[in-house]
Amino acid sequence: MLKKILLLSTLFTLGFLNQALAKEKPLIVLDGQEALNNQKVCWYENKRYTEGAYIAVGDIRLICTAKQPNFSNSDLAWLRLNANGEIIYPKQPKTIHVN
């Protein structure tokens, strides 16, 4: 009896895995330590892009560049390019100064 239960559970598990793997996209595994040790990058569609990379998404052109151009250690982000190829930086929030 135990052998039948084990056999049925194994067959059920294999059938379930086969169904799940047939419908799902391939699993992409990122090594966290590699990401921490590696240089800063921008990601798009599970691909890494280094600073200065250009991509087009529909009619929008993007460049992988520093979020904060005034800081040398700024994180990278995808920023839009205008018609002249100049980077459009996001507007900085207004700050309140207290004396």
**What confidence score (pLDDT) does residue 70 get?**
82
d(CA 83, CA 16): 51
Sheet holding 60-66, edge to edge: 54-57, 60-66, 76-81, 87-88
Are residues 76 and 42 in contact, defined by beta-carbon separation less than 8 angstroms?
A: yes
Summary count for the chain: helices (H), strands (E): 2, 6
CA atoms within 13 A on the CB side of 15: 6
* H or E element that contains 81: strand 76-81
Per the DSSP assignment, residues forming a β-bridge with 80 are 62, 88
Express each pLDDT in 7-57 by its tens digit: 445 545 655 555 555 555 566 666 666 555 556 889 999 888 999 999 999
**What confidence score (pLDDT) does residue 8 get?**
47
Whole-structure pTM value: 0.55
| Strand-strand pairing, 47-49 and 42-44 | antiparallel
d(CA 34, CA 45): 18
Q: Span 50-78, mean pLDDT?
A: 89
